[in-house]
């Protein structure tokens, strides 16, 4: 029988357990700058169901989180329009880390340092299961996207760039 790799608790897993969310651990070998394509390949899943947690900010530098399919990019114009802002842009890595409490590459929407507004690409809610960062590099958790969205009160938006 294969030995199950022990995964240490993160603020994200503590948050999920506290809210009695059902999730599965999926550790993998983290690849620097590998992104969702590397994690999808390592776990043998479609990159579309691996969800990126992106820390962004509006024109007043107010932080927010956007959850997006791994194989899609965020249209910042559409996002800004959807949430009633003039503009939205990604935060610099050190700013993102300060807001979320997570290292870039290990950012989870769960258990962030500060409560941040969360927006989720609406089509993610149609998926059966998503793989999303569990709070450190090389670690995803699998769970129902509707459960994930409910836990962080994510507002559905349509902001994926069409290929």
The C-alpha torsion from 96 through 140 and 145 to 20, rounded to 10°, is -100
pTM of the model: 0.94
**Residue in the structure block whose two tokens are 């989720």:** 120
Contacts of residue 45, defined as CB under 8 A and 6 or more positions apart, other chains included, come to 131
The tens digit of pLDDT for each residue in 87-145 reads 999 999 999 999 999 999 999 999 999 999 999 999 999 999 999 999 999 999 999 99
Domain limits, the chain: 11-157
* Structure-token pair, residue 154: 């994510």
Q: Which CATH superfamily is domain 11-157 in?
A: YbaK/aminoacyl-tRNA synthetase-associated domain (3.90.960.10)
- 33-55 pLDDT, tens digit per residue, is 999 999 999 999 999 999 999 99
Asked whether 97 and 104 are in contact (CB, 8 A), the reply is yes
**Which candidate, 35, 14, 40, 44, places its Cα nearest to that of 106?**
35
CB of 76 closer than 8 Å to CB of 87:
yes
Could you tell me the end-to-end alpha-carbon distance of the chain, in angstroms, rounded to an integer?
A: 43
């Amino acid at each position: 029988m294969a030995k199950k790799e022990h995964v240490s608790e993160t603020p994200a897993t503590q948050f999920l357990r506290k809210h009695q969310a059902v999730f599965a651990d999926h550790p993998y070998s983290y690849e620097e700058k590998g992104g969702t394509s590397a994690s999808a390949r390592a776990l043998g899943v479609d990159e579309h169901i691996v969800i990126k947690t992106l820390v962004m900010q509006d024109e007043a530098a107010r932080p927010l989180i956007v959850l997006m399919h791994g194989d899609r990019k965020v249209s910042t114009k559409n996002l800004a329009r959807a949430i009633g802002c003039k503009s939205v842009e990604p935060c610099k890595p050190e700013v993102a880390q300060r807001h979320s409490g997570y290292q870039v590459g290990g950012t989870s929407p769960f258990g962030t340092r500060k409560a941040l507004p969360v927006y989720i690409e609406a089509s993610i809610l149609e998926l059966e299961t998503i793989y999303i960062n569990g709070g450190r590099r090389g670690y995803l958790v699998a769970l129902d996207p509707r459960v994930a969205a409910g836990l962080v009160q994510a507002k559905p938006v349509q902001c994926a760039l069409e290929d």
